Amino acid sequence: LDRSPALGGGARSVTKIARGVFGDAELEYSKLSEAEKAIVFAVERHEWLWSNHHQLRTVKAVDCLQSFSARSGSRPVCSRCDALLHNNDFQSALNHKTSGDPSKAKHTPSRFRQDGLLEISLMQHQLAGLLQADGSKESLWTRFIKGALRGDFTDDKVFLGLLEAVLVVKDKDRRGVGMQNMKWNPDYD
């Protein structure tokens, strides 16, 4: 589950689904309209053999019996969930190796992401602006955060000192307290 943001798996490829749905053996998935792609995604989801529950850290068969034997020594799974372990597609997904390099994860297809949940979470933490971008460009804040995480500003002591001072002043203003005990960055001396 750590390697995949997908909510499930085991369906045919989107190309095979599109060719079957639209009855064209030569159809290229990339040529479909957004409405046609939505139809393909719906079919794909209905064909899933398993669903991933990242929060619970579990995987279950879509047709799970929701009952299992509680005998001593047995795994608490139903026969259909247990059968996933013998499914070639499931084994392939389990054995899929990732590079471990986070920069390569940026190309995850959007249909595998849960942007709706991410947006809700960011809004609740008043961080919705991180996702908002002007056209295809990343927002200023997203670019700044990525640069900060890469260490692009490590040697810019004056900039970081200014940023820290502005943040402290804004925080004090928001809390309605004065500027007493304000400590300035020593790099300004």
Kindly report, residue by residue over 121-177, the tens digit of the pLDDT. Answer: 666 666 666 655 555 567 777 788 888 888 899 888 888 888 888 888 899 899 898
- In 113-172, the DSSP E strands lie at none
- Where is mean pLDDT largest: 18-27, 66-75, 162-171? 18-27
Residue 164 confidence (pLDDT): 87
Burial class (CB in 10 A: 0-12, 13-18, 19+), 189: exposed
29 or 186: whose pLDDT is higher? 29
Encode 63-102: b = buried (16+ Cβ within 10 Å), e = exposed: ebeeeeeeeeeeeebbebbeebeebeebeebeeeeeeeee
Residue 24 confidence (pLDDT): 92
| pTM passes above 0.75 | no
Instruction: Render pLDDT for 110-126 as a digit per residue (tens, 0 to 9).
Output: 666 666 666 676 666 66
User: Is it the case that residue 72 has pLDDT exceeding 70?
Assistant: no
* Residues 41 and 21: beta-carbon distance below 8 Å: no
Q: Which residue has the tokens 């500003």?
A: 153
C-alpha 66 chain-centroid distance: 28
* Token pair belonging to 126: 């008043």
* Token pair belonging to 111: 């249909």
